[in-house]
Amino acid sequence: MIEIPARKGKAVRVGQGQRVRVVNTKGQQVVDTWAFNAEDMREFMSMEHSRVAIGRIIPAIGDALVTNKRRPILTLVEDTSGGIHDTLFASCDRWRYELLGCSEYHDNCTDNLWAALKALGLEPPETPAPLNLFMNIPVIDGNRVEVRPPVSTPGSYVSLRAEMDCIVAFSACPQDMLPVNGLTMRPTEAHFELLD
Amino acid sequence: MIEIPARKGKAVRVGQGQRVRVVNTKGQQVVDTWAFNAEDMREFMSMEHSRVAIGRIIPAIGDALVTNKRRPILTLVEDTSGGIHDTLFASCDRWRYELLGCSEYHDNCTDNLWAALKALGLEPPETPAPLNLFMNIPVIDGNRVEVRPPVSTPGSYVSLRAEMDCIVAFSACPQDMLPVNGLTMRPTEAHFELLD
């Protein structure tokens, strides 16, 4: 099991057909997730294309998330977390924390994505909208969105099967000013493992 | 009034404080809309950041759409169209039409964005998720999304006030294989005008 340290990111190469199992070690920890075509980083998992492809805002088991070229890249194949994830919200960034009143630097998922890829010698062409695993953003009355604590329990997990050779990046969301990561607002570590 | 030709795009410079009124000339015509900071095209209107900012998936009068730096760029100030717009779906592209069975080139909003900007000597850093004016994609039971005909009537309009000097690009969506632009599936022209 590889650790995604609390408040930080981690990226990994995943071969076509391999699965990556993302474990919510402590429960209620959101894990922002991105995937890039290993052959061409300009092709990446896209939430706005995936919603069209799957006909839902939250992927269900069997749903293939697609790239900005509308090709399957990651398929959700297991989910013991309660099935609540988010595709609507941008990853947090320095501007998000500034608007929340933070005057000093705050860890954020956007910088974590870039740092995690840099550790592999890679650079993304942009910051795609993430698949926010375990994040609970209900759409109420077909329109209103609200930040709620995750429903995922400790040790619950999702597995994603790679449909092409890809780079998958994770960030254990450092949000500690809103109940994104539970009412205690204490970001924790998460883990992942690669399965053949 | 400036025409957005049927199936094509058009971009315009809009000064801070100016309003751009987008008219659904024939009714039921979706208009994909993008905005870029005139000083730095890498900053642009972002749907995933805007949903966080406005707490809704469909902007209402008074809502400021924000950029990928979370700064207001366009505020919805008038809307006679019925208030149904979409922020969830990617703009159509060649891959979308190929998947729908099109074997030859099909006009598409993504290419229209790039062509409209090119006509001003500009190039976007990427294809941001668009604000799909007049597009009717309800979120059913908090999850399922469905393509429905627009509710907008001929001559109805929305007005967007620029909160910074920006480039606004439009595409009169050429979708004629699904009822995105009404049950007749006949894309039409739309218009816009700049108001001080």
The whole-number average pLDDT for the span B125-150 is 98
In angstroms, the CA A56 to CA B25 distance is: 31
Of B181, B126, B165, B139, residue with least CA distance to B4? B181
Extract the tokens encoding B4: 């957005």
Strand runs labelled E in A15-112 = 19-24, 31-37, 40-44, 64-66, 72-79
In angstroms, the CA A162 to CA A157 distance is: 16
ipTM field: 0.98
Among B96, B127, B145, beta carbon nearest to A57: B145
A chain contacts of residue B51, beta-carbon cutoff 8 Å? 88-89, 145
Strand runs labelled E in chain B = 2-4, 9-14, 19-24, 31-37, 40-44, 64-66, 72-79, 131-133, 139-140, 144-145, 156-162, 166-172, 190-195
A chain contacts of residue B88, beta-carbon cutoff 8 Å? 48, 51, 57, 88
In angstroms, the CA A181 to CA A173 distance is: 8
The reported pLDDT for the residue numbered A161 is: 98
The reported pLDDT for the residue numbered B132 is: 98
In angstroms, the CA B118 to CA B9 distance is: 11
The reported pLDDT for the residue numbered B100 is: 96
Extract the tokens encoding A145: 């969105």
Q: Does the distance separating the beta carbons of B69 and A127 come in below 8 Å?
A: no
In angstroms, the CA B31 to CA B169 distance is: 10
**Helix (H), strand (E) at residue A127:** none
| Residue % of chain A over a pLDDT of 90 | 100
- Give the pLDDT band (50/70/90) at residue A25: very high
What count of CB pairs under 8 Å joins A to B? Answer: 79
The reported pLDDT for the residue numbered A168 is: 98
pLDDT tens string A48-60: 999 999 999 999 9
- Give the pLDDT band (50/70/90) at residue B129: very high
Name the pTM for this structure.
Answer: 0.98
The reported pLDDT for the residue numbered A62 is: 98
